[in-house]
Structure 1
Amino acid sequence: MTPEAFVEIFREALQVIVMLVAAIIVPGLLIGLVVAVFQAATSINEQTLSFLPRLLVTLTTMMIIGHWVVQVLMDFFFNLVDMIPQVIG
């Protein structure tokens, strides 16, 4: 295995990880920000108030983009399988 092949696999793996995690986490972060602004504006100091909206948005996001996540992971796996001769030889 050449160092270039290893670096290419590692770079692609990191790219897939960042893309998938960002797609799941960013909507929850945005809802958390909206709830935090609402809490600051109304002086409500309940910490559990922001948990339920973030949970619901994260679960909804995972349901909506689940097919895309599986497709990206399958494409990455098939790409790894296709690279086996290049890695071995």
Structure 2
Amino acid sequence: MQPSPHDEKIWTVANAKAKLSEVIDRAQSAPQTITRNGKPSVVVVSVEEWQRKTVRRGTLVEFLMDSPLRSADLDLERQRDEPRDLSL
């Protein structure tokens, strides 16, 4: 069974411009991809989806503290080399 035009989730820029309201309506239930020159360029998603994907999950400190590398014996000493000569 072939997908119907109503299941379309990929739009050209021209088609998306002509049917912007429909792109927005469909983005409420599924991401809508807009292509430019035949290549995916942007994805339109609902505000709820955007908020769900961009919510912060803890702090950087928590991320580093939970890292499996925290207990690894890594040599993190900074090298004290002389600066490079950048003159031409």
Please tell me whether Structure 1 or Structure 2 has the larger radius of gyration of its CA atoms: 2
TM-score, L = length of structure 1: 0.27
TM-score, L = length of structure 2: 0.27
**Which structure dedicates a bigger proportion of its chain to helix?**
1
**Which structure dedicates a bigger proportion of its chain to strand?**
2
